[in-house]
Amino acid sequence: MSTEQGSGVTVVDHPLVQHKLTLLRRRHTATGEFRNLAREISLLMAYEVTRNLPLERVTIETPLETMEAPLLSGKKLCFVSILRAGDGLLQGMLDLVPSARVGHVGLYRDPVTREPVQYYLKLPEDIASRQVIAVDPMLATGHSAAAAVTCIKQAGASQVSFVCLLAAPEGLAVFSAAHPDVPVFTASVDRELDSHAYIRPGLGDAGDRLFGTK
The phi, psi pair for 169, rounded to 5°, reads -55, -40
- For the question of residue 190 being annotated catalytic, the response is no
Tell me: is residue 137 an annotated ligand-binding position: yes
Rounded to whole angstroms, how far apart are CA atoms 185 and 103?
19
Choosing from 59, 109, 126, 181, which is the catalytic residue? 109
Checking DSSP bridges between strand 159-167 and strand 3-6, what pairing results, if any?
unpaired
Number of Cβ atoms within 10 Å of the Cβ of 5: 14
Tell me: is residue 156 an annotated ligand-binding position: no
Rounded to whole angstroms, how far apart are CA atoms 186 and 21?
11
- For the question of residue 150 being annotated catalytic, the response is no
Tell me: is residue 206 an annotated ligand-binding position: yes
Tell me: is residue 134 an annotated ligand-binding position: no
Tell me: is residue 178 an annotated ligand-binding position: no
Tell me: is residue 51 an annotated ligand-binding position: no
- For the question of residue 205 being annotated catalytic, the response is yes
The answer to whether the beta carbons of residues 82 and 149 sit under 8 Å apart is no
Tell me: is residue 140 an annotated ligand-binding position: yes
Tell me: is residue 15 an annotated ligand-binding position: no
Instruction: State the DSSP code for 55.
Output: E
- For the question of residue 126 being annotated catalytic, the response is no
CA dihedral 170, 171, 172, 177 (to 10 degrees): 90
Choosing from 3, 113, 150, 200, which is the catalytic residue? 113
Instruction: State the DSSP code for 74.
Output: S
Tell me: is residue 202 an annotated ligand-binding position: no
Catalytic sites, residue numbers:
109, 113, 205, 208
Binding-site residues for 5-phospho-alpha-D-ribose 1-diphosphate: 84, 109, 136-144, 205
Binding-site residues for uracil: 199, 204-206
